[in-house]
Amino acid sequence: MRIESRTTSLSWIPSEAVKGVARGAFTAGVSHYDDPPPDVIKDFDGLRAADGFRFANQLTGWAEFGDDGALLDCGAGGGLLMGSTTVRLGPLGATFAAVVMPELRGEPERGDGWVRFTQTVGGRTGVPLPRRIPGRPLIRLQAPFVWSTLTLTLHADGRAVPMLAGASPFPRHWVYDGEDRLCLKAGVADWQAWSGQDSWRHTPWGDEDSPVLVTAAETALERELSTLIMRGGRRPAVRELAAGEVLIRQGDPGRSLFLLLDGLVAVEVDGSGLAELGPGAVVGERAVLEGGLRTSTLTAVTPVRVAEAAAETVDTAALRALAAGHRREEGRAECG
C-alpha cells in the first residue's frame, strides 16, 4: 500500500505583534503587518504572489507498506519558499532578497507500521534591523533568523499526521494538513525573545531548535467572528496579561467578548481544569447569553494579548452557535 501526503507551514506577522522601536516602522507604513492566511490554501502560487505570507515550509512524504504493515520504502521532498521584503518610504520602495539557510532533513524515523519525516527550513530578511542582544557587541544590524520544523508521520493504515515540532519565537506559524486545511497553530509569537537572538548558533543550524506551544486551529465560526471583532465598526481594546493573570473569573459579572490574539489561557470550572485555548479562540459568549455572570475562569498560561469587544459586535444567533460549539467540543465546554 502506498501512502502519500504533505504538510505546509505558513509564517506571517499578525497585527500589533511587533514591539519596541521597530513598531514605529509598521505604524508609519514603512513595513506592514499581514492579513491572516486562509483557512484552506486554494491557490498557493497566488497567495505567494500576493505577499500572503513571509515564508513557507512545505514537506511532502510517501511510503510503501506491505500487507503486514511493514515499511518497504519511503521518501520525502519539499523545502523553503521565502519571499522578499519591500520597504516603502512615501511613493518609493526598495525590495530586499532574503538570506536562505540550508534545508535540514535527516533520515526518516521508522517504527512499527509508521515512518516519520522531519524538515527544518528558514533564513532571514535582507532588511537591516538594529536591535539589542544580550552579549557583545550588544547591538546587531542584521535581522534574526526565522524557521519552522515540521514532521509528517505516515501510518500503514493510511493516516497522515502533521506536527509543528519547533519554530522561531516569531513570527506566527500556521500548519496545514494534506488537504491544505488549517489544522494547527503556534500558540505564541514573541517579538522580544526573537529580536534578542544573538547568534545563528542558537538556531537549528547551530546547536538548538526552539520548542513551540502548539494549539488546534479554532473553528470556522470563530474565524468569522474574529474578523467582526477586529474589523467591525468599533475598534476593540487590546489588553496584555502576564502569565498567571486572570482574564475572567467564574461568577463575576461581564458582558464583553474576548478574542485571544496571542498566547494560551487555561479554562477552569469550579476549580477543575478543562482545556487550554490558543490564538483565534473567541470566549465570553455564555455570560452574554445566560444572565451576565461568567461561567468559567480563564487564566493566562503564557503572556497573552487579547482583544475585548462589546457583545453588540456579534449578533445573538452567532453567539448561540458559538456557545453550542463550545459545549460539543471536548474540553472546551463552559468557556465564558
- Regarding whether 186 and 245 lie in a shared domain, the answer is no
Asked if the structure places residue 277 within a domain, the reply is yes
19-71 tens-digit pLDDT: 765 665 555 444 677 888 999 999 998 998 888 888 999 999 999 999 999 99
Structural domain boundaries enclosing 99: 2-216
Domain end marker among 194, 216, 238: 216
Domain end marker among 160, 188, 216: 216
Q: Which grid cell sits at 217?
A: 486551529
- Regarding whether 207 and 224 lie in a shared domain, the answer is no
Asked if the structure places residue 78 within a domain, the reply is yes
- Regarding whether 52 and 91 lie in a shared domain, the answer is yes
Average pLDDT, the chain: 83
Asked if the structure places residue 111 within a domain, the reply is yes
Q: How far apart are CA 204 and CA 34, in angstroms?
A: 26
Domain end marker among 216, 241, 270: 216
Of all residues in the chain, the percent with pLDDT exceeding 70 is 82
34-47 tens-digit pLDDT: 888 999 999 998 99
- Regarding whether 225 and 211 lie in a shared domain, the answer is no
Asked if the structure places residue 333 within a domain, the reply is no
Asked if the structure places residue 336 within a domain, the reply is no
**Contact call for residues 272 and 250 (beta carbons, < 8 A):** no
Q: Which of 14-18, 93-97, 235-239 has the lowest mean pLDDT?
A: 93-97
Helix (H) or strand (E) holding 229: helix 220-231
Q: Which grid cell sits at 213?
A: 506551544
- Regarding whether 161 and 27 lie in a shared domain, the answer is yes
pTM: 0.78
Asked if the structure places residue 147 within a domain, the reply is yes
185-229 tens-digit pLDDT: 988 888 888 888 878 888 999 877 777 878 777 677 777 777 777
Looking at residue 251, its amino acid is: G
- Regarding whether 74 and 7 lie in a shared domain, the answer is yes
- pLDDT of residue 255 exceeding 80, the answer is yes
Q: How far apart are CA 283 and CA 265, in angstroms?
A: 11
- Regarding whether 249 and 151 lie in a shared domain, the answer is no
Asked if the structure places residue 14 within a domain, the reply is yes
Question: Number of folded domains in the chain?
Answer: 2
- pLDDT of residue 331 exceeding 50, the answer is no
Total Cβ atoms within 10 A of residue 68: 7
- Regarding whether 149 and 125 lie in a shared domain, the answer is yes
CA distances (Å), origin 282, targets 146, 184, 303: 28, 16, 17
pLDDT band, very low/low/confident/very high, at 333 (cuts 50, 70, 90): very low
- pLDDT of residue 300 exceeding 80, the answer is yes
- Regarding whether 315 and 265 lie in a shared domain, the answer is yes
- Regarding whether 174 and 275 lie in a shared domain, the answer is no
Q: pLDDT higher for 267 or 210?
A: 267
Q: Which of 110-124, 170-184, 195-209, 246-260 has the lowest mean pLDDT?
A: 195-209
Q: Which grid cell sits at 195?
A: 529580536
Q: How far apart are CA 160 and CA 115, in angstroms?
A: 10
Rg of the chain in Å (alpha carbons):
21
Specify the CATH number for the domain of residue 304.
Answer: 2.60.120.10
**Contact call for residues 294 and 250 (beta carbons, < 8 A):** yes
pLDDT band, very low/low/confident/very high, at 330 (cuts 50, 70, 90): very low
Q: What is the biggest distance separating any 2 CA atoms in the chain, rounded to whole angstroms?
A: 65
How large is the average pLDDT for residues 163-172? 93
Q: Looking up cell 504572489, which residue turns up?
A: 49
Query: For residue 93, what pLDDT is reported?
Result: 56
- Name beta bridge partners: 176: 8, 182
Asked if the structure places residue 204 within a domain, the reply is yes
- Regarding whether 274 and 143 lie in a shared domain, the answer is no
- pLDDT of residue 286 exceeding 70, the answer is yes
